[in-house]
Chain A
Amino acid sequence: MSGPPLRTRLAARGLDGTTMLILPGLIFMIALFVYPFFYGLVDSLTPKEGGWYANYAKFFGDPFLYDTIGATLWLALPVTIINLAFAVPVAFRVRLMNRQRLLTTILVLPITLGTVFVADGLLTFLGPRGWFNHTLLAIGILDNPIKLTNNYWGVFASLLITGFPFAFLLTLSYISGIDPAIEQAAATLGAGPRQRFSRVFLPLLVPGLAVTFCLAFVQAFAVFPSAVLLGAPAGPTRVISIAAYQAAFEQYDHSLGSAIALIMGGVELVVVLAVLGGRSFFYRGPAGGTKG
């Protein structure tokens, strides 16, 4: 008794020639993510001196180190929330525009500039002799220039500029994914713009906004160049990536550096899981016109 050939049986389980196409991606993932991750994990557990947990004990025992978590969160969370809060209304407006592409291009431009370029520009623009202060002084709103660089606000502004396009693009795609007839239906049923937003759009958008939040947050949490260039890297903007960098490349303790990098990932994971977990309280199915 012979069944169908092996090839057919494998194909029935979803394994055929096409399956091979995942191989390059898989190799890439293993080489560039899985292997470095486990390398770092092992590295962090084999400290220069002390037990396997010595690096972690050191980190959580030294306020100069563990305070970086708070400093980074204090930058990344507000920036992410504000970016999202801006992205939603802007995306709502852009959705209805005819020249969508032009405006989208302008809004997305900052992504292409790179953080260093933006930081350099902001140093000049927001600096004590920059246009921003000049203008406010000239109008008479200020008596003395306000300090917006080499402190928290410089990094904050830079993160807003580089993070917004990202949050905006994602939000726009989620909003465009909602069948316009759903809004029209709500309107004909007596819902004004405010009710249409709060009762129809927002509940349908929450899952997408949660994903956007996570991606934007992770991006902001990993801030490094602008924290150094525009911030006060020894003070309030001593973010966690600076701590990792200093441990690995200034104190030559790559094991401690790996441990800090893993702690960084752990904090991101906690925030991401919390946000995605909250998503389960909302509807998560398709938001288009459903067809029978």
Chain B
Amino acid sequence: MNSVANAVASTRSNARLELDGLSRSFGAYNALDGVDLAVEPGEFVALLGPSGCGKSTALNCIAGLLALSGGEIRLGGNRIDQLEPEKRGFGMVFQSYALFPHMSVRKNVGFGLAMQGVKGAEADRRVNEALALVRLESQAEKLPGQLSGGQQQRVAIARAIVIRPPVVLMDEPLSNLDAKLRLEMRAEIRGIHDQIGSTTIYVTHDQDEALSLADRIVVMSQGHIAQIGSPQDLYQRPINVDVADFMGFRTRVPGRIVAVFGDEAEIDVAGARIAGTMRTPLKAGDSAILSVRPEDLIAAEEGIAATVASMEYRGRAFFGLARTADGSELYFRADEALPRGASTRLKPLAQRALLFKDATR
């Protein structure tokens, strides 16, 4: 660890953040409905979910920008949910950067220190360290409007961590950046986290971002936590069809279980028998849903019969959409483009298909 990181490293705290029955409603609508979560010191947790799932609401509640309708927030055992945001001292990074447009980069970064009453040489030193950490020393005197989007977001990160917050909150910080910059900043955010060891809660709707950044991912859906787990867990073992869908298992076709062997089962989909791993207990005769990622569904002689509806080129391979006779959609991979309307048979690669109980029937 270099000296810069050392100096900012007192951000590392021993305080554990606990959410206990966190709830927030807007009128009759429950945006957040009894969320329980404990974040360990130094941990990088991603809140992942589609828009409207409650992840941003949760983050705003933790920051104190939204009052709770119910539940508790504790930091190091102390209740903080009644505190004003300015008393919590959490650094927050916003999607829109939210830099102070009338202040130089240096003043922006120094703002939190000024509020804490840190002045003079000590403040200068810490601002310089934070700027060095995000590699913006040379831009210190510029106004935010003179910087690129990526630079602005780095200023926002420096501004949030310079106050040595017990928890850093990030609200989709990369979604305003272009794809290439997003990848670079992703690595940078993880690098900064590893250097200063801050506890970080990161909200995103991008599963790639969550997978690559987080120690632990919390998948949210309709105000609840759907699943908590390591990136590998979520990627390989989603707990239900919705989480699976969100983690990239785009194809979800209904069928009927014909045979069960331990963890595995065979399902009949449109007359084809497909083997898959059971994620929920199933028995022969049950209605079930087969979930597969597009890259794991390919043409095979004994696959599900379907008609190609569209194809797109993605560099290494073609990805297509086919429909079965009853209208179920199959997202698949192919080495060559198939003409629209062509008949094909599709089958998941061995061990890559998941089977869930069909809750709708």
B102 and A204 contact, CB distance less than 8 A: yes
Q: B95-131 toward A: CB 8 Å interface, digit per residue (1/0)? A: 1111111100000000110011000000000000000
Q: Which A residues are in CB contact (< 8 Å) with B86?
A: 187-192
* Complex interface residues of chain A between 181 and 209 (CB less than 8 A to chain B): 181-182, 184-192, 195, 199-200, 203-204
B100 and A290 contact, CB distance less than 8 A: no
In this complex, the member of B63, B86, B87, B90 whose beta carbon has the largest number of chain A beta carbons within 10 angstroms is B86
Docked complex Cα distance between A195 and B114 (Å)? 11
A285 contacts the other chain (CB 8 A): yes
* Complex interface residues of chain A between 145 and 202 (CB less than 8 A to chain B): 179, 181-182, 184-192, 195, 199-200
B148 and A292 contact, CB distance less than 8 A: yes
Docked complex Cα distance between A182 and B102 (Å)? 11
B111 and A189 contact, CB distance less than 8 A: yes
The tally of CB-CB contacts under 8 A between chains A and B is: 101
Docked complex Cα distance between A283 and B143 (Å)? 10
B145 and A286 contact, CB distance less than 8 A: yes
A289 contacts the other chain (CB 8 A): yes
Q: Which B residues are in CB contact (< 8 Å) with A252?
A: none
A283 and B85 contact, CB distance less than 8 A: no
B163 and A290 contact, CB distance less than 8 A: no
A107 contacts the other chain (CB 8 A): no
Q: Which B residues are in CB contact (< 8 Å) with A248?
A: none
A267 contacts the other chain (CB 8 A): no
B163 and A182 contact, CB distance less than 8 A: no
A287 contacts the other chain (CB 8 A): yes
B102 and A195 contact, CB distance less than 8 A: no
- Closest chain A residue to B107 by CB distance? A199
- The count of chain B contact residues (Cβ–Cβ below 8 Å) is 41
A184 and B111 contact, CB distance less than 8 A: no
Shortest Cβ gap from B104 to chain A (Å): 10
Q: A269-289 toward B: CB 8 Å interface, digit per residue (1/0)? A: 000000000000011011101
Docked complex Cα distance between A290 and B101 (Å)? 8
A191 and B101 contact, CB distance less than 8 A: no
Q: From the candidates A184, A195, A287, name the one contacting B101 in the complex (CB within 8 A).
A: A287
B149 and A292 contact, CB distance less than 8 A: yes
Q: From the candidates B63, B92, B99, B177, name the one contacting A290 in the complex (CB within 8 A).
A: B99
B145 and A184 contact, CB distance less than 8 A: no
- A289-B84 in contact given A187-B65, A190-B115, A204-B101 (Cβ < 8 Å): no
B89 contacts the other chain (CB 8 A): yes
Shortest Cβ gap from A203 to chain B (Å): 5
B94 contacts the other chain (CB 8 A): yes
Docked complex Cα distance between A238 and B225 (Å)? 72
B42 contacts the other chain (CB 8 A): no
- A289-B85 in contact given A190-B112, A190-B115 (Cβ < 8 Å): no
A184 and B102 contact, CB distance less than 8 A: no
Docked complex Cα distance between A107 and B159 (Å)? 40
In this complex, the member of B97, B143, B151, B156 whose beta carbon has the largest number of chain A beta carbons within 10 angstroms is B97
Q: From the candidates B85, B100, B144, B150, name the one contacting A188 in the complex (CB within 8 A).
A: B85
A99 contacts the other chain (CB 8 A): no
Q: From the candidates A179, A200, A286, A292, name the one contacting B177 in the complex (CB within 8 A).
A: A292
Docked complex Cα distance between A181 and B171 (Å)? 11
Shortest Cβ gap from A188 to chain B (Å): 4
Shortest Cβ gap from B176 to chain A (Å): 6
- Closest chain A residue to B65 by CB distance? A184
- Closest chain B residue to A189 by CB distance? B112
A291 contacts the other chain (CB 8 A): yes
Q: Which B residues are in CB contact (< 8 Å) with A184?
A: 63, 65, 85, 92, 94, 98
A285 and B143 contact, CB distance less than 8 A: yes
Q: Which B residues are in CB contact (< 8 Å) with A181?
A: 94-96, 98
Docked complex Cα distance between A291 and B92 (Å)? 18
B91 contacts the other chain (CB 8 A): yes
B207 contacts the other chain (CB 8 A): no
- Closest chain A residue to B94 by CB distance? A181
Q: From the candidates B64, B90, B98, B177, name the one contacting A289 in the complex (CB within 8 A).
A: B98
* Complex interface residues of chain A between 40 and 74 (CB less than 8 A to chain B): none
* Complex interface residues of chain B between 56 and 107 (CB less than 8 A to chain A): 63-65, 84-92, 94-102
Q: Which A residues are in CB contact (< 8 Å) with B115?
A: 189-191, 195
- A189-B91 in contact given A179-B96, A181-B98 (Cβ < 8 Å): yes
Docked complex Cα distance between A136 and B53 (Å)? 58
B152 contacts the other chain (CB 8 A): yes
- A282-B102 in contact given A187-B84, A189-B115 (Cβ < 8 Å): yes
Q: Which A residues are in CB contact (< 8 Å) with B96?
A: 179, 181, 289-291
- Closest chain B residue to A183 by CB distance? B98
Q: Which B residues are in CB contact (< 8 Å) with A291?
A: 96, 149, 176
Q: Which B residues are in CB contact (< 8 Å) with A285?
A: 101-102, 143, 145
In this complex, the member of A179, A185, A199, A289 whose beta carbon has the largest number of chain B beta carbons within 10 angstroms is A185
B91 and A188 contact, CB distance less than 8 A: yes
Q: Which A residues are in CB contact (< 8 Å) with B151?
A: 292
Shortest Cβ gap from A201 to chain B (Å): 10
Q: Which B residues are in CB contact (< 8 Å) with A200?
A: 100
Docked complex Cα distance between A117 and B102 (Å)? 43
Shortest Cβ gap from A173 to chain B (Å): 17
A190 and B163 contact, CB distance less than 8 A: yes
Docked complex Cα distance between A283 and B92 (Å)? 24
Shortest Cβ gap from B81 to chain A (Å): 15
Shortest Cβ gap from B115 to chain A (Å): 4
Q: Which B residues are in CB contact (< 8 Å) with A282?
A: 102
B63 and A188 contact, CB distance less than 8 A: yes
28 contacts between A and B (CB under 8 A): A179-B96, A181-B95, A181-B96, A181-B98, A184-B65, A184-B85, A185-B92, A185-B94, A185-B99, A185-B159, A187-B84, A188-B63, A188-B64, A188-B88, A188-B160, A190-B112, A190-B163, A199-B111, A200-B100, A203-B102, A204-B101, A283-B102, A285-B145, A289-B96, A289-B98, A292-B147, A292-B149, A292-B177
Q: Which 7 A-B pairs have the closest CB atoms?
A: A292-B149, A289-B96, A283-B102, A190-B115, A189-B112, A181-B98, A185-B98
